[in-house]
């Protein structure tokens, strides 16, 4: 999809959402005339999400077992869904690469306490969910979330000695860590701070 997006995030979300009927009572209807006067942003087309490709479901218990195999001190896992879709690895790699291309048109850059690591991670997760929703994915929510980590070791340009937020992905090849600020992606077993992941949020 080549999206023409105006007025920041409002129409970014609209670009991913299938057309609907009249909005429900209580929902704010955007002033389209005002939005049309705003500067436009051109987003690169997102990768195709194949809602019929091979995928398996992981339960939260499955994910806990995986963390137990790979980390000395498994993190607390917070979740809203008990089953998560673990898609083909290449689909999430393609999505990760596309997300990196959004930084320039959306002017995403690190701003202390305003747009920092947790904002990057949450944005990554939200866009992945929207992509699957737009493609008609009905098998479940993607196994994608974010984690708070104490950085004992430097990784992907982030210095050691402080708290940080990263993305957690579950794919057909296992659990992966993504640094959304630069696109670095490694298997959880190769993440140097895997033993100090504190909380995971799915």
CA-to-CA distance for 127 and 146, rounded, in angstroms?
13
CB atoms under 10 Å from CB of 125, counted, come to 20
Q: Which residues contact 29 (CB under 8 A, 6 or more apart)?
A: 23
Pair 130, 88 in one domain: yes
Same domain? For 158 and 77 the reply is yes
Q: What is the mean pLDDT of the chain?
A: 84
137 and 70 in one domain?
yes
Full domain range(s) for residue 11? 1-43
Q: Order of strands, edge to edge, in the sheet holding 144-151?
A: 76-78, 197-201, 144-151, 162-171, 174-179, 184-187
Q: How confident is the model at residue 89, as a pLDDT?
A: 94
Spatial distance between the Cα atoms of 25 and 18, rounded to a whole number of angstroms? 19
Position 4 confidence tier, pLDDT thresholds 50, 70, 90: very low
- 82 and 154 share a domain? yes
The mean pLDDT value for 118-124 works out to 92
Q: Are 136 and 51 in contact (CB under 8 A)?
A: yes
CA distance 180 to 146: 10
Question: In angstroms, how far is the first alpha carbon of the chain from the final one?
Answer: 27
Q: What is the pLDDT of residues 48-89, one digit of tens each?
A: 888 788 888 999 999 999 999 999 999 999 999 899 999 999
Q: Which of 48-52, 96-100, 132-136 has the highest mean pLDDT?
A: 96-100
Is 24 in the same domain as 73? no
Count of structural domains within the chain? 2
Q: Are 126 and 159 within one domain?
A: yes
> Which of the pair, 8 or 132, is modelled with greater confidence?
132
Q: What are phi and psi of 9, to 5 degrees?
A: -65, -30
Does 77 share its domain with 154?
Answer: yes
Predicted TM-score of the model (pTM): 0.78
Same domain, 197 and 166: yes
**Which of 8-12, 17-21, 125-129 has the least mean pLDDT?**
8-12
User: pLDDT-based confidence at 36, cuts 50/70/90?
Assistant: low
Q: 55 and 16, same structural domain?
A: no
pLDDT level of residue 38 (50, 70, 90 thresholds): low
| pLDDT score recorded for residue 110 | 72
Q: Could you tell me the two tokens for 88?
A: 């083909």
Q: Are residues 28 and 50 in the same domain?
A: no
96: domain CATH number is 3.30.460.70
Q: Answer whether residue 179 shows pLDDT above 70.
A: yes
For residue 13, pLDDT beyond 50: no
User: Does pLDDT of 24 surpass 60?
Assistant: no
User: Can you tell me which residue has the tokens 């979330």?
Assistant: 145
Residues 165 and 108 in one domain: yes
pLDDT digit string (tens) for 137-159?
Answer: 888 889 999 999 999 999 999 99
């Amino acid at each position: 999809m080549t999206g023409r997006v105006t007025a920041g995030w409002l129409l970014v979300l609209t670009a991913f959402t299938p057309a609907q009927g009249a909005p429900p009572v209580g929902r704010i209807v955007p002033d389209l005339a005002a939005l049309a006067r705003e500067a436009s942003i051109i987003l690169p087309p997102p990768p195709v999400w194949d809602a019929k490709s091979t995928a398996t479901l992981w339960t939260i218990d499955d994910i806990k077992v995986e963390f137990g195999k790979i980390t000395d001190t498994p993190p607390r896992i917070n979740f809203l869904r008990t089953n998560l879709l673990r898609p083909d690895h290449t689909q999430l790699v393609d999505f990760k690469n596309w997300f990196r291309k959004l930084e320039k048109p959306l002017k995403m850059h690190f701003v202390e306490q305003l747009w920092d690591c947790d904002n990057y991670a949450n944005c990554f997760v939200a866009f992945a969910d929207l992509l699957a929703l737009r493609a008609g994915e009905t098998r479940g929510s993607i196994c994608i979330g974010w984690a708070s980590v104490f950085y004992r070791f430097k990784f992907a340009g982030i210095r050691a000695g402080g708290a940080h937020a990263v993305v957690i992905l579950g794919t057909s090849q296992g659990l992966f860590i993504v640094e959304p600020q630069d696109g670095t992606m490694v298997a959880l077993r190769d993440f140097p701070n895997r033993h100090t992941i504190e909380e995971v949020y799915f």
